Amino acid sequence: MTKVIAFESITLDGVKQGPGRPDEDTRDGFRHGGWAGPYTDHVIQGLAGEGSSMTGVIVAGFDVATAKPA
């Protein structure tokens, strides 16, 4: 059986939009992109790198609101 591991960046109030860069995702006037940057440290980077190095298959994001690939 294949194991599925999801790695998501989400705030406590449910925001998953634009965690990486300020200009990453500006749909619907979203102006708070890049919110995850100040909270990233070497531990989180290490865990993300470790997890991504174990993948056999990568499932790309999908925008369910527009039903188009992200």
- Give the number of domains in the chain: 1
Secondary structure of residue 69 in the 3-state scheme: strand
φ, ψ for residue 50 (rounded to 5)? -65, -45
**What is this structure's pTM?**
0.43
Q: What is the pLDDT of residue 55?
A: 65
Residue 33's alpha-carbon distances to 2, 5, 11, 52, 66, in angstroms, are: 33, 24, 12, 23, 20
Maximum mean pLDDT: which of 6-10, 38-42, 51-55, 64-68: 38-42
Q: Percentages helix, strand, coil for the chain, rounded to the nearest 5? A: 25, 5, 70
Domain residue limits at 4: 1-70
